[in-house]
Structure 1
Amino acid sequence: MAGNLTRMNALNDMMRLDPFRNMDDFFRDFAMSSPWRGMEGEPRIRMDVSENEQAYTVKAEVPGAKKEDIKIAIEGNVVSIQAEVKEEKEAKGAGNMVRSERFYGQQSRSFALPQEVDDASAEAKYQDGILTLTLPKKQGGGRKQLTVQ
């Protein structure tokens, strides 16, 4: 039985349709198979900031920290949060440890608010890994517009 044999060139077949799209897919797939995928870096302080007419409210995630290890500094309209974090995760198999991850270190985050904060009236509470800051706006700290005469 005689048949036709065709020599296949996978690269030509791939490049025939759209060379740039296919190469992008190739490199994206390559990057996704990296041995570092799934390994997490140092956790960051994630936060939400809301405001009303009187104050800003900041809710920041600081898991793994004790309240005595959290420091907050306010200077004008700049707020800095610093925390000493100790986090341990352990996954066990049948008898032998399969994976253990530990993180010890400092996290910090600074941000500027649109208006200065009344640092004498500011409050901080920490519960279940969430730091809640109530930052009253400083009276008279807003912008003043001048009329050109």
Structure 2
Amino acid sequence: MMASSLTRFDPISRMLSADPFRNIDDFFSTMRMPSLMGAADLSPHIRMDVTESDQAYKVVADLPGIKKDDIKVNIDGNQVSIAAQTASRSDQQSATSLCSERSWGQYYRSFTLPQVVDDTQAQAQFHDGVLELTLPKKTGGSARPLAIQ
């Protein structure tokens, strides 16, 4: 069995963790100026956990505020892609926004698993803003011994 782990690499937060002045972001937010350090995290992203058993991979992804019909999952061999979209906040045109922290727009996440997924047996469930994928590993791949002549 091949052990694997998926790790999200975030060079900005790694760099900021060594910075004694990392609270400078709070200073700029009180002045209503965009922070240079916060600019790296403008696009919404999908947070997820991936676990592995002998038979399958299990993916649990947080997609709060998204409707089931607006989620697309694509499996191509060992490549898995999750895409989702939320509607824009145009319903409050006449209101003045005092604080806006909720993300909207397009979400996309793609990752590679160590083994090919049996897409015919894969299952997806969505409830309470959480997408759960069960991705069975494909058995009996196309590997065969090659005779040397």
Interval containing the TM-score (normalised by the shorter chain): 0.5 to 0.7
The CA distance in 1 between the partners of 2:49 and 2:109, in whole Å, is 12
Note closer, same or farther for the CA distance 1:142–1:52 as it changes in structure 2 (3 Å cut). farther
The aligned residue for residue 63 of structure 2 is 62
Cα distance in 1, alignment partners of residues 45 and 53 from structure 2: 26
What is the rounded CA distance, in whole Å, between the counterparts of 1:32 and 1:145 in structure 2?
A: 61
SS of 1:68's partner is helix
Hey, what does 1:92 align to over in structure 2?
Answer: none
State the AA in 2 paired with 1:117. Answer: V
In 2, distance between residues paired with 1:69 and 1:109?
14
**Counterparts in 2 of 1:99 and 1:75: CA distance versus 1, 3 Å:** same
Preserved CA contact (<8 Å) 2:46 2:62: yes
Deviations 1:38-92 (A, max 9, x none): 897332101101111111100001111111110000000000000012476xxxx
Identity %: 50
Q: Deviations over 1:18-48 (max 9, x none)?
A: xxxxxx64x5454542233589733210110
Higher strand proportion (structure 1 or 2)? 1
- The runs of 5 or more residues in structure 2 that have no matched partner are 1-18, 90-95
CA gap of 1:29–1:69, structure 2 versus 1, over 3 A, is closer
Residue of structure 2 equivalent to 1:121: 121
Pair 142,130 (structure 1): closer, same or farther in 2 beyond 3 Å: farther
**1:104 match: secondary structure:** coil
**How many residues are treated as equivalent by the alignment?**
115
TM-score, structure 1 normalization: 0.63
CA-based RMSD of the aligned residues comes to: 3.1
Query: Residue 108 of structure 1 aligns with which residue?
Result: 108
Equivalent pair of 2:44/2:106 in contact (CA under 8 Å): no
Q: Does the CA contact (< 8 Å) of 1:86 and 1:105 recur in 2?
A: yes
8 Å Cα contact 2:63-2:131 kept in structure 1: yes
> CA separation of 1:60/1:143 partners in 2, compared to 1, >3 Å: closer, same or farther?
farther
Give the Cα separation in 2 of the matches to 1:65 and 1:50: 23
Q: Which has the larger radius of gyration?
A: 1
Using a 3 Å threshold, how does the CA distance of structure 1 residues 34 and 142 change in structure 2: closer, same or farther? farther
Residue in 1 that maps onto 2:28: 34
The alpha-carbon deviation at position 142 of structure 1 amounts to: 8.9
Give how far 1:143 is off. 7.5
**Aligned CA distance change for structure 1 residues 34 and 131 (closer, same or farther; 3 Å):** same
